[in-house]
Structures are given as structure tokens and as C-alpha cells.
């Protein structure tokens, strides 16, 4: 982990020192936010290769099947009656029809709408009518091999389901270890889902992630969270090339602490801390001693993204506190809605030919610079959109 202080840079600005080198970091070429070809390449290069989030485990109850997607690939989340969670490609093993188009509950079998092949929630083929040209749907023993649903490598962390479509990423435990170490004092075996809320955002997925890492906008877009005096007291955090963010060591100090909301017993230096982490490519995490929030971002179009926001208490809630918990959820989702409302203006701005000349603010934007650098490194694995002179854009 590295802690980066921008105090020296801030003093340079205050005393009017030369700015040319300070503002030399450029943003991505705007076509990376507007070119459909780039999005298709990102799906293969970014979302398939690493560990990407696709949903919340608590929303998949026993007997439930929930369709979802990762950058356009249809996936299926199921949970068997014994509580085992499974992730499959959401296609029939026969002709590839989408198996489950909408969420369903209390299921024992899933039936393909095309030829009525049926599967258990753990993926085994259970029936194929007239498979051998004769009446009946039973599968001869030994002949069902290779006809089950195709499983996807997955892991669950803080109730968040991660998948690796390419099947070749490092072990999840190895990948997540730096964040596990950082959040060890916050680990709660009784994490309780208060609400899961879906959003559609009219902005490229990268802008959604950049906005989460942008502490600068908080006092202006979310002024209920505190003024600039609170926001400036942050420390930059880099845990690994894929996991980074920032902390507000006293970010929770001036916030009201509801009596009904259990708070973890933390050491004094963490008692009022708020942590915000980005997990490349599409997972956004915020945590305090009293609550945990995760956002999974999914690109649907080059100028549109879906996300699910899961809000959690750090312990089980009693029934008498359910109304207060929902009021808390309303407040937290109101804050997120403010981001949903502002992001389309950033997307619209990327249509301007001047957008490629934007510069980062050195005091605030180290985490965004880190995001762009990580993205650029990944983008080098495939050619980007060409400029007018035929050269690859940055």
C-alpha cells in the first residue's frame, strides 16, 4: 500500500509556482467514451480476462434463478435448495437459446423455451424430450456428459459475486488479498443486505468509475455529505495495480450515528474512517464501521451503463428497525441518484473535439490518473480508434 500526499502540490498552487508540469497529465482520447468498437474490444480485453462483479449473492435465494450479464455476455445465477450458489452461461447446451430470460423463484428445474431441455439448478441435464426420436425425456445414463450448463469460475466476497469468463485469472483469493488485509478490521460474518437498487445511467461505464474516484465533486454535487473542508482531508491508497482508491480518516466523524445501526468495534484510528476502493474493472466499494456499499457497473452501450447498488448493515437488523433501515437506504440512494443525474453531462462533453485537451487537477485526481493509467495499459493489448492521420489515438 502507498499513501500519496498532494500537500506539496497544493502549496505550489497556492504560491503560484509554474503550472505547466503540474497539469501535463492528459485524459483519454474522448473516442474511448463514444466509439462502439472500443466498447466491444473492452468487453473482450477487460471484462473477460479479470475478476469482474456480476451481482449480489444475497439476492439469489434457494430455488432462485437470476439472469444477468457481463459486458454483453448472458449469465445465469442460481442457488440450489441446499444453498449452493452457481454461475453459468445463460444458454441451453443444445442450440444455445437463452435459458432464463427473467428472474424466477421456487424452481427445481429450468426448461429451455426452444426444445424443452431441462436442467437442475446445479446445471445437470435432466430431460430432453424425444431426444432419440422416441417418446420420453429421460437421458440414458452416461450420455448426459457434456450436455449440462456451462459453469463459470466464480467467487463471493462481501456478498459480491465475481466471475472470470476467460478462466485464466489468478486465484481470486490471491487477487483480493491486498484488500482483504486492508479491510480485515471491518470483516463481519453477519453482513446484512438492507437494499439492492438498480440504476440505468446515460454515460459510458468508465465515467461511472471515474466519478466514484473523484473526491473533488463530493462537496459540490453531494453537499449533504460535507463541505470542501471535509473532502480535502483524504489520503490516496494503492493496494495493487487493480485495487486502489482513497480514505477520509475522519469522514464519518461529523455524521449522525443512528442508534439502531450496529457499529463494528474498531481501533481509534479507524473509528471514523471512510474507505472508497475501485476494483478493476467494474466494482466500486465504500465502507465504514457502520455500513458497507458495493456498486457493480455493467456497460450496456457505449453511452449507457447499468449498475446495482447493494447497501449493507454490518450486523443483522431486528424487525423493529426495518423502517429506519429503509429510510437510511433512501438517503444513500438519493446520494447515488445525484451522480446518476450529473453523469450524462460528462458523457455529452465527450462529444466535443476539445474534450481530449482536458487536464487533471493534481490535488484531487491522483486516483483518476491511476485509473486511466491502468486502463491505458490494458488498452495496449488491442488497437484503439484511429486518428485522422491513421495513427492510434492515446
State pLDDT tens for residues 349-370.
999 999 988 888 888 999 999 9
- Give the pLDDT score at 25: 61
Residue ranges of domains in the chain, CATH in brackets? 2-49+177-379 (3.90.380.10), 52-155 (2.102.10.10)
Flag the least confident range among 132-146, 148-162, 306-320, 323-337: 132-146
- Give the pLDDT score at 381: 65
User: The C-alpha cell of 258 is what?
Assistant: 443512528
Query: Which secondary-structure segment (H or E) carries 7?
Result: helix 7-14
Query: Under DSSP, is residue 194 helix (H, G, I), strand (E, B) or coil?
Result: strand
Q: Answer yes or no: is pLDDT of 16 > 70.
A: no
Residues in CB range of 327: below 8 A, 6 or more apart: none
Q: For the chain, what percent of residues have pLDDT higher than 90?
A: 67
pLDDT tens digit sequence for 189-248: 789 999 999 999 999 999 999 999 999 998 889 987 777 777 788 899 999 999 999 999
Q: What would you measure as the largest C-alpha separation in the chain, in angstroms?
A: 87
pLDDT average, residue stretch 296-306 = 96
Residues in CB range of 329: below 8 A, 6 or more apart: 194, 195, 197, 311
Q: Which of 167, 175, 178 is nearest to 49 (CA)?
A: 167
pLDDT tens digit sequence for 105-161: 999 999 999 999 999 999 999 988 887 787 876 776 666 677 899 999 999 999 999
Residue where the block lists cell 439469489? 60
Query: Under DSSP, is residue 293 helix (H, G, I), strand (E, B) or coil?
Result: strand
Which span out of 220-224, 271-275, 305-309 was modeled with the highest average pLDDT? 305-309
Q: Answer yes or no: is pLDDT of 185 > 60.
A: yes
Residue where the block lists cell 455493467? 298
CB 179 within 8 A of CB 1: no
pLDDT tens digit sequence for 71-104: 889 999 999 999 999 999 999 999 999 999 999 9
**Buried residues in 333-371 as b, exposed as e (16+ CB within 10 A):** beebebbbebbeebbeebeeeebbeeebbbbbbbbbbbb
pLDDT average, residue stretch 64-73 = 93
Q: Which of 341, 36, 129 is nearest to 217 (CA)?
A: 341
- Give the pLDDT score at 132: 74
Evaluated on CA atoms 277, 278, 283, 284, the torsion sign reads positive
**Confidence band for 33, pLDDT divided at 50, 70 and 90:** very high
- The verdict on pTM exceeding 0.85 is yes
E strand map for the chain: 2-4, 52-56, 64-70, 73-79, 85-89, 109-111, 118-120, 125-127, 153-157, 160-164, 192-201, 235-240, 243-248, 274-279, 283-287, 291-301, 304-313
Q: From CA 372, how far away is CA 370, in angstroms rounded?
A: 5
* Cα Rg of the chain, angstroms: 23
The strand pairing partners of 284, in sequence order, are: 278, 295
Q: Answer yes or no: is pLDDT of 341 > 70.
A: yes
Amino acid at each position: 500500500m502507498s499513501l500519496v500526499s498532494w500537500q506539496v502540490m497544493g502549496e505550489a498552487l497556492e504560491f503560484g509556482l509554474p503550472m505547466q508540469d503540474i497539469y501535463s497529465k492528459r485524459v483519454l482520447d474522448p473516442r474511448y467514451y463514444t466509439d462502439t468498437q472500443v466498447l466491444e474490444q473492452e468487453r473482450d480485453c477487460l471484462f473477460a480476462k479479470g475478476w469482474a462483479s456480476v451481482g449480489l449473492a444475497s439476492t439469489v435465494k434457494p430455488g432462485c434463478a437470476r439472469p444477468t450479464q457481463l459486458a454483453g455476455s448472458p449469465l445465469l445465477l442460481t442457488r440450489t435448495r441446499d444453498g449452493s450458489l452457481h454461475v453459468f452461461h445463460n444458454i441451453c447446451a443444445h442450440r444455445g437459446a437463452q435459458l432464463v430470460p427473467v428472474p424466477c423463484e421456487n424452481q427445481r428445474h429450468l426448461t429451455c423455451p426452444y426444445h424443452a431441455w431441462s436442467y437442475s439448478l446445479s446445471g445437470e441435464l435432466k430431460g430432453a424430450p424425444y431426444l432419440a426420436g422416441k417418446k420420453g425425456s429421460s437421458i440414458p445414463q452416461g450420455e448426459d456428459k457434456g450436455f449440462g450448463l456451462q459453469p463459470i469460475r466464480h467467487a463471493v466476497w462481501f456478498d459480491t459475486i465475481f466471475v472470470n469468463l476467460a478462466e485464466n485469472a489468478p486465484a481470486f483469493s490471491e487477487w483480493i488479498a491486498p484488500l482483504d488485509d486492508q479491510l480485515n478490521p471491518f470483516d463481519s460474518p453477519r453482513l446484512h443486505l438492507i437494499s439492492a437498487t438498480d440504476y440505468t445511467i446515460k454515460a459510458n461505464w468508465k465515467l461511472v468509475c471515474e466519478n466514484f474516484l473523484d473526491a473533488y465533486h463530493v462537496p459540490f454535487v453531494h453537499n449533504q455529505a460535507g463541505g470542501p473542508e471535509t473532502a480535502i482531508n483524504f489520503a490516496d491508497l494503492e493496494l495493487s495495480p487493480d485495487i486502489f482508491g482513497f480514505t477520509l480518516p475522519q469522514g464519518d466523524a461529523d455524521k449522525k450515528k443512528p442508534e439502531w445501526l450496529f457499529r463494528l468495534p474498531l481501533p481509534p484510528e479507524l473509528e471514523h474512517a471512510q474507505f472508497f476502493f475501485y476494483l478493476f474493472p467494474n466494482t466500486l466499494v465504500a465502507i465504514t464501521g457502520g455500513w458497507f456499499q458495493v456498486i457493480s457497473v455493467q456497460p450496456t452501450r457505449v453511452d449507457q451503463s447499468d449498475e446495482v447498488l447493494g447497501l449493507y448493515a454490518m450486523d443483522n437488523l431486528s424487525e423493529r428497525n426495518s423502517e429506519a433501515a429503509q429510510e437510511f437506504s433512501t438517503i444513500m440512494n438519493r446520494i447515488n441518484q445525484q451522480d446518476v443525474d450529473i453523469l450524462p453531462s460528462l458523457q455529452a462533453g465527450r462529444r466535443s473535439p476539445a474534450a481530449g485537451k482536458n487536464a487533471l487537477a493534481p490535488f484531487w485526481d491522483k486516483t483518476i490518473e491511476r485509473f486511466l493509467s491502468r486502463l491505458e495499459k490494458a488498452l495496449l493489448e488491442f488497437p484503439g480508434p484511429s486518428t485522422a492521420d491513421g495513427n492510434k489515438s492515446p
